[in-house]
Amino acid sequence: MTNSSPTPRLTLRRGVGILREHVRQSRAALVAVVALSVIGALASLVQPLLVNRIIDSVGAGSALAPFIFGLVAVVLLTSVVGAAQQYLLGRTAETMVRSLRHSLLDRLLRLPASAYGRHRTGDLVSRVAADTDSVRTALTGGIVDALGGVLIIVGSAAAMIWYDPVLFAVALAVLTGAAITVAAASGKIQELSRRVSESTGAMSSGVERALSAIVAVRTAGATESEAASLKADADRAWRASLRSVRLEAFLWPMSGLAIQVAFLMVLGLGGARVAAGELSVADLMAFLMFLFMLMMPIGQLFGAITSVAAALGALARIDQVMAEPTEDAADSPVPGAAPDLSGAVPAVEFDDVVFSHDDELDPAGRTPGPGKPGTPDESGTPRGPRDRVLDGVSFAADAGRTTALVGPSGAGKSTILALIERLHDPRHGVVRVGGADVRDLDRAELRSHIAYVEQSVPILAGTIRSNLTLGLGDVVDDRCRDALAAVNLLDRIDAHDDGLDATVGDRGIGLSGGERQRLAIARALLADRPILLLDEPTASLDSRNERALQEAIGTASRRRTVIIVAHRLATVADADQIVVVDAGRVRATGTHAELMESSALYRDLARDQLLS
């Protein structure tokens, strides 16, 4: 897959807009968190005032007990409120991340096929896991706490001005310089965070690519080179992270350093003012407590700035995926449209279909502009890119009959099946299923009539049963066993102690290539849909299993329309119709006997396979 396109920078307003819809279900909890934050801030502000009264009472010989008990009660209240706030905040953050992940996963599974070529798989996985985690860290790492921190800062500043405006001005000058430095660096933090996320995504993609082809890597003697490549990806992620760490390591101590400098200056100047009789000891102690109370909220604000900047970088990558249109975004299905598969019209029909991958919609859903490949010229004829996959394909597959697509590799046979499934749409011409233009049909409605076995034979990690019943819901064991028996796989499954519940690994690890292929075909047979599309179904089968599969397909074709792509002509010689495809065009159509007489290309294919 290709590298993902560059991620645009995200504004704070847009970031808040993205999160707003995901915190909606936790709005009450979020309000409670803010309220607790305010209560905690007010309780904290009371503490220096009580200390001031205690010191004054000691000097005046007044009663201390009420103030001491009050201080203890306020400290306990602050602790309880803080614990409740942290629990609610953590719960709210987890709920928000769950909602964000749900939306992201929902979008990822509904992107058009072309979108998966613009993003690497590992990078998409990283957006679901790592980037959403960055958003959670920002929410729990200071954003809400910073609201209470602002109240503490305002309250402390007001109290400090009340006690001594001169000392406050000195402290303010130092703290303002630190705040300006952190604010100025927030944009750089967002940029570095985006780079960290992208390099982490690239590393994840590299690992996914290597592990998905681990056998090929090892047998090709490429283990060391792949390891070196993955380590290089890890090094790039490390360097990107280090740049972010260096900047944060500079910014985080700024709050502490500013407080310490302000403390020393206030202590020196305040001591002089106490000696001059311009300030009491109790007032100086209260002032210093308020100054130290600024340390945590200012640190929270600085932390919130860095966390928000990092989260905006992660949200930009999430938003990039969410901005991708779903495969049905531009669909306009005709209400009530449904295919007629009774046999009155061809089950599948191609009418002058032209398709090129250059013709697909771009990420924004726009079609190529005038003059670009695939668009009509002044006469209405589609312009033809050099890599046109299908070029004026026309044929019909009658209901209840078997149609075979044969031809050299790269002729466009698999693309024909993909267009029937509407994984892509043609730029010119019409694909009809049951007499209806597939673009007039709801995609789910269309696919409910079609069972499709890909050439790559995808098997998901799970059990035999979960793979066999994928998308079918609950299916009784007898039907599962009948489907497995039809492809000569039942004995192999029964030999396992767990039977249908035997586990298979990622990409079908634990099954041979032929077994994976037969399991995928069994799934298609179990679906029992009126149209069955098979892409090279016998590519990994031995002669015995190939014969069993041919019998299963023959039985299935009595009740279904079967369209099968094959390189081995022997597997489709008995097909009701054979369509010869070469260079994106239909070169001939007929039975095996008819094509042996009329098609030189078909005769060449047959001769190459010693088929007469």
pLDDT above 60: residue 336: yes
CATH architecture of 346-359+388-611: 3-Layer(aba) Sandwich (3.40)
For the chain, how are helix, strand and coil distributed in percent, rounded to 5? 65, 10, 25
Sequence-distant (6+) residues with CB within 8 A of 501 are 463, 464, 465
Four-CA torsion 549, 555, 556, 560, nearest 10 degrees: 140
pLDDT tens-digit readout, 155-170: 888 888 888 888 888 8
Given this model, what pLDDT does residue 1 score? 44
Given this model, what pLDDT does residue 252 score? 63
The residue extents of the domains of the chain are: 7-163+302-327, 165-278, 346-359+388-611
Please state which of the ranges 212-216, 248-252, 256-260, 528-532 shows the lowest mean pLDDT.
Answer: 212-216
Q: How confident is the model at residue 89 (pLDDT cuts 50, 70, 90)?
A: confident
**Model pTM greater than 0.85?**
no
Q: For the purposes of burial, counting CB atoms within 10 Å of the CB of 498, is it exposed (0-12), middle (13-18) or buried (19 or more)?
A: exposed
What's the whole-number mean pLDDT along residues 150-156? 83
What's the whole-number mean pLDDT along residues 86-103? 85
What's the whole-number mean pLDDT along residues 43-57? 78
Q: Give Cα 551 to chain centroid, integer Å.
A: 42
Its CATH class, for the domain covering 7-163+302-327, is: mainly alpha
What's the whole-number mean pLDDT along residues 330-344? 86
Start-to-end C-alpha separation, the chain:
41
Q: Are 541 and 517 in contact (CB under 8 A)?
A: yes
Highest mean pLDDT (candidates 111-115, 506-510, 607-611): 111-115
Convert 53-91 to b/e letters by CB count within 10 Å (16 or more is b): bbbbbeeeeeeeeebeebbeebeebbeebbeebeebbee
What's the whole-number mean pLDDT along residues 249-259? 68
Given this model, what pLDDT does residue 254 score? 66
Please state which of the ranges 107-116, 269-278, 454-463 shows the lowest mean pLDDT.
Answer: 454-463
Identify residue 479 by its one-letter amino acid code.
Answer: R
Q: How confident is the model at residue 151 (pLDDT cuts 50, 70, 90)?
A: confident
- Token look-up 């032929």 returns 514
Q: For the purposes of burial, counting CB atoms within 10 Å of the CB of 241, is it exposed (0-12), middle (13-18) or buried (19 or more)?
A: middle
pLDDT tens-digit readout, 430-487: 999 999 999 999 988 999 999 998 887 777 778 888 888 888 888 888 998 988 888 8
Per the prediction, the chain carries an average pLDDT of 79
| Structure tokens belonging to residue 3 | 């590298």
Pairing of strands 348-355, 390-397: antiparallel
Q: Are 493 and 484 in contact (CB under 8 A)?
A: yes
Given this model, what pLDDT does residue 142 score? 60
pLDDT tens-digit readout, 344-402: 899 999 999 999 876 554 433 333 333 334 444 434 444 444 568 899 999 999 998 99
- Token look-up 């396979």 returns 609
Given this model, what pLDDT does residue 82 score? 82
Percent of the chain with pLDDT over 70: 83
Q: Are 96 and 139 in contact (CB under 8 A)?
A: yes
C-alpha to C-alpha distance for 549 and 171, rounded to whole angstroms: 84
| Structure tokens belonging to residue 139 | 């929410």
C-alpha to C-alpha distance for 428 and 439, rounded to whole angstroms: 12
C-alpha to C-alpha distance for 337 and 435, rounded to whole angstroms: 10
Q: How far is CA 22 from CA 97, 106, 174, in A?
A: 8, 14, 39
Sequence-distant contacts of 362-370: CB under 8 A, at least 24 apart: 363/5, 363/115, 363/118, 363/323, 363/324, 363/325, 364/325, 365/325, 365/329, 365/330
3-state secondary structure (DSSP) of residue 355? strand
